Amino acid sequence: MNSVLPTTVPIAQDDWDQHWRDFTDSAEQNPAQLHRQRIACALLKQYGCADAAKILDIGSGQGDFARVLNGVFPNAQLAGLELSATGVQLAKHKVPSGLFLQRDLLAPNGNPGELKHWAQFATCCEVLEHLDDPILLLKNTSAYLAPGCVLVVTVPGGPRSEFDRHIGHREHFTPAKLRTVLEASGFQVEQATTAGFPFFNLYRMAVILRGKRLVSDVQSDSKGPSSWLARTVMAAFRPLFRLNINRSPFGWQTVAVARWPGPKA
């Protein structure tokens, strides 16, 4: 994921190298992450993504989604942009055939290099909620996108938990808010909706109820009973997430598909 340091009180969890050292294991097991990945892959297919496509993962983190994309589209060319060096290293290990670059997409005058106007399809999953200025990131990302590129975005909706705040969530999005951000960034929005009812919501409620204790429960070096319980709960929800109703107005997962029309003349 990419993030930006706020201008007032620093948030330590914006240190994404430390984030991936602390939470890599729990992120891999998180049923909510798997749910979002399935939704994003289905939307990519719906909008014409095929094996020969060029796919860019914006905020590629530790490479979990890139690994999924590599399995679903085995002949596609994959690239990822990530703020943290730790995330880039982990992603290269998981998908050796992909191209993963350390990039601060909030910095001015970024140079896309060989990836200029490259991507035919792009994903941006669970990134924008970490940013003070998501519009700036999306505008800077456009230099990597080919005209007509289809972008799939997921962001959390519903209330924020203490864990969300700990890892630097600035806000959660409604479909209307996400549409506004995308359009202000120059994208043409094809759809913006919610997903995940009812089991995503129930899972999120369990996270909210656990409060600050969840932070220590899911850290990579945690081995206590509470850590075991957290991983058991995640495993129990995993099959239930396949029963979620997508495009339900009650879901707490927000999803959008947008198209980059190309730079203005």
Q: What's 76's domain CATH number? A: 3.40.50.150
Task: Tell me the β-bridge partners of 100.
Answer: 80
Q: Domains in the chain: how many in total?
A: 1
Tens-level pLDDT at each residue, the chain (265 residues): 443 333 333 344 577 778 777 777 778 888 999 999 999 999 999 999 998 999 999 999 999 999 999 999 999 999 999 999 999 999 999 999 999 999 999 998 778 999 999 999 999 999 999 999 999 999 999 999 999 999 999 999 999 999 999 999 999 999 999 999 999 999 999 999 999 999 999 999 999 998 888 888 887 666 656 677 788 889 899 999 999 888 888 999 999 999 999 987 4
In this predicted structure, what is the pLDDT of residue 108?
82
Tell me the backbone φ, ψ of residue 150, rounded to 5 degrees.
-95, 125
Measured distance CA(173)–CA(159) in Å, rounded: 10
Within 13 A of 75's CA, how many CA atoms are on the CB side? 4
| 235 C-beta neighbours (distance < 10 Å), count | 11
Measured distance CA(136)–CA(141) in Å, rounded: 9
Within 13 A of 114's CA, how many CA atoms are on the CB side? 6
In this predicted structure, what is the pLDDT of residue 119?
98
In this predicted structure, what is the pLDDT of residue 223?
61
DSSP letter at 197 equals B
Residue 1 maps to a domain: no
Residue 192 maps to a domain: yes
In this predicted structure, what is the pLDDT of residue 233?
87
Measured distance CA(261)–CA(265) in Å, rounded: 11
Residue 91 maps to a domain: yes
In this predicted structure, what is the pLDDT of residue 9?
38
Residue 52 belongs to domain spanning:
12-259
Q: SS3 of 30, please?
A: coil
Residue 7 maps to a domain: no
Distance of CA 251 to the CA centre of its chain: 17
Residue 6 maps to a domain: no
Measured distance CA(169)–CA(3) in Å, rounded: 10
